[in-house]
Amino acid sequence: MNEMAPKVLICGRIVWAHDDVKQLLGDIADVVPCDHSETPASKYLDSKNRSEFLAAFQPGGKYFEIEGIYRENGSADIIGVFDKEIINGLSSNVKWIAHNGAGYDPVDVKECIKRGIYLSNTPGAVDDATATTALYLLISTMRQYALAERSLRVGKWKPSGVSTKTHDLTGRTLAILGLGGIGLRLAELARAFPMRIVYHNRRKAEDAPEWCEYFENLDEMLAQTDVLSVHVPLRPETVGLVGEKIIRALKPGAIIINTARGKVIDEEAMIRALEDGHLASVGLDVFPNEPEVNPRLLEFPNVTLLPHMGTETQDSQRKMEVRALQNLRDYLTVGMGKDLVLEWKNVKKSEL
């Protein structure tokens, strides 16, 4: 490799796309050598902790000349999230961070913008896997399949009176809060039952099919909702978005599904609604303080809980890895990746 080639750091694990690293970056970049450690997250990242990682970006350090960073969530086990301290500790040579994931809350995007460091994510790559996870939670909560399986596993066969708590999906109303790629894919899947599909965004989605009914008035939509599926990104303004007001605006006996981020829902308000029966059930794949789960949630036999399984398929994980790598390649070859995050896009628009 030409010594003048830009340097790229693979920060975390590459599990499925090893050949793609060579194909996408091998001819245009100097990928920082890996140390082949037995620790999975150290496959490429050879810093032992946060302080060592930051020291390596100082003048003369092994990462000082790094221009692009591929970031994978497993790196947080060693150096933590890309918070203000990490972003401000990067050398001025760093121009692009390619985050592997649709949600990019582990990276301080405001600090990236202040430093002039572009940030990309991997929208689209996670749509199928996350939408099918939401569909499973929808079916399980409506039919109480998780409860039934637990009953079977302890030798009790069917739970007593389960049919009084279950419903068919056909003709029920699925409301999607945040009709992006994942929400739209879920809508396509749920329509097969068929369910009635309604949604609320800040504005009507241009790519929404005609059978997706747009509600500008959120309360009006919630009053008609049997199942509310949450698909909004985690930002400061969305923390606790689904709180007491939204939950109580749902009709009694509704169900909430969350495959977005745990902190988007006010967990205490949700638990209160489960306790008093306003919510019939919830299906959760995400939690506010993962991997910790509020033990009170475990007391409800009627809820379905998963340990953040949304993108746990080799197919989607490879697509995510490749898409993040492609963003780095695009930046290095044409000066801009295709998946610049929304906050950066807004900055670019304001400059026009």
Count of H-run helices and E-run strands, the chain: 13, 12
Measured between alpha carbons, how far is residue 165 from residues 193, 202, 285, 322 in Å?
19, 34, 22, 43
The C-alpha torsion from 177 through 310 and 127 to 258, rounded to 10°, is 0
The residue type of 126 is: V
Residue pair 181/124 in contact by the 8 Å Cβ criterion = yes
Would you state the structure tokens that stand for residue 134, as one six-digit string?
């939401």
CA 201 – CA 190 distance, rounded (Å)? 19
Other beta carbons within 10 angstroms of residue 34's beta carbon come to 14
Place of tokens 């989605």: 205
Count CB atoms within 10 A of the CB of residue 207.
Answer: 9
181-190 and 127-143 helices, crossing angle to 10°: 50
Task: Count CB neighbours of 44 within 10 A.
Answer: 23
Q: What is the DSSP letter of 119?
A: E
- Contact assessment for residue 68 and residue 6, using Cβ atoms and an 8 Å cutoff: yes
DSSP strand pairing (279-284 vs 196-200): unpaired
Cis peptide before 106 (omega within 30 of 0): no
Catalytic residue numbers? 261, 290, 308
Neighbours of 245 (CB within 10 A): 13
Q: Which amino acid is at 254?
A: A
**What are the phi and psi torsion angles at 230 (to 5°)?**
-95, 125
What are the angstrom distances between the C-alpha of 80 and each of 72, 75, 207, 292?
A: 11, 7, 37, 17
